[in-house]
C-alpha cells in the first residue's frame, strides 16, 4: 500500500471524520437495540468495513504507523 501523494491532508481529515460519524450512528443503533436481529451481522460488518477504510485513510494521510496500530486494536 502506498501513501497518497495526490490528495491532501484535508481530504483525508474529512473522510476520516465522516467514517467516524457513520460508525458512531451504527454503534448507537446496536447499543440501543434499534437493529433487527436479522440485520445485526450486516451492521457489525459495516462497522468493520468503515474501520478498515479509516485505517487506509490514516495511512494514506501519512499518520504514524504506531497510531494506526492503535486504531486497529480499538
In a domain, 2, yes or no: no
Q: What is the pLDDT of residue 72?
A: 83
Q: What is the mean pLDDT of each run of 10 residues along the chain (74 residues)?
A: 78 95 95 96 95 93 92 79
Q: What is the pTM of this model?
A: 0.83
Structural domain span for residue 35 = 9-73
Q: What is the pLDDT of residue 5?
A: 77
**Residues ≥6 apart with Cβ < 8 Å to 68:** 55, 58, 59
In a domain, 4, yes or no: no
Write the DSSP string, 23-74: HHHHHHHHHTT-S-GGGHHHHHHHHHHHHHHHHHHHHHHT--HHHHHHHHH-
Measured on CA atoms in the order 22, 24, 25, 29, is the torsion positive or negative?
positive
Domains of the chain: total:
1
In a domain, 45, yes or no: yes
Q: What is the pLDDT of residue 2?
A: 61
Amino acid at each position: 500500500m502506498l501513501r497518497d501523494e495526490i490528495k491532501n491532508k484535508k481530504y483525508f481529515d474529512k473522510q476520516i471524520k465522516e467514517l467516524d460519524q457513520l460508525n458512531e450512528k451504527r454503534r448507537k443503533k446496536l447499543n440501543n437495540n434499534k437493529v433487527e436481529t436479522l440485520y445485526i451481522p450486516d451492521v457489525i460488518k459495516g462497522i468493520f468495513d468503515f474501520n478498515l477504510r479509516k485505517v487506509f485513510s490514516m495511512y494514506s494521510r501519512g499518520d504514524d504507523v504506531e497510531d494506526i496500530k492503535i486504531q486497529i486494536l480499538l
